[in-house]
């Protein structure tokens, strides 16, 4: 990570922050969160790139984000801090709640069919 050495150097030069120095397990947790955030950034970038966003593409991108979070959940190391595991699980559940709303709208049903045709 680009900021690992910068933060370590800062703490080394400022003794009052030594008690807040990040340990290896902290850096591992930061790496996990950074990886998850890349999925959200990618989804946001994909939805922001088009001049004419289409519901079918948004639906497909949203599903891809949900799948990415599910993959991350399945590949979490055993030593993942419980709050991080719970946070990722909560994010996946919230996306599932939103995705489940698609069953309530004929627009999403239509968009889903269009996405299957286009993909």
Where residue 111 falls among pLDDT bands split at 50, 70, 90?
low
**pLDDT exceeds 90 at position 60:** no
The CA-based angle 34-29-99, given to 5 degrees, is 55
Where residue 25 falls among pLDDT bands split at 50, 70, 90?
confident
Average pLDDT over residues 30-51: 84
Range of weakest confidence among 4-8, 11-15, 19-23, 99-103:
99-103
Q: Whole-prediction pTM value?
A: 0.66
Q: How many angstroms separate the CA atoms of 34 and 3, rounded?
A: 12
The answer to whether 33 and 55 are in contact (CB under 8 A) is no
């Amino acid at each position: 990570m680009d900021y690992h050495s910068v933060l370590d150097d800062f703490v080394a030069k400022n003794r009052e922050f030594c008690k807040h120095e990040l340990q290896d397990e902290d850096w591992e947790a930061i790496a996990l969160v950074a990886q998850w955030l890349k999925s959200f950034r990618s989804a946001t970038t994909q939805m922001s790139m088009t001049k004419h966003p289409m519901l079918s593409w948004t639906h497909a991108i949203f599903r891809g984000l949900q799948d990415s979070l599910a993959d991350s959940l399945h590949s979490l190391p055993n030593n993942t801090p419980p709050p991080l595991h719970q946070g990722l699980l909560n994010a996946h559940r919230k996306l599932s709640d939103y995705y489940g709303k698609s069953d309530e709208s004929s627009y999403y049903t239509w968009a889903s069919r269009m996405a299957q045709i286009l993909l």
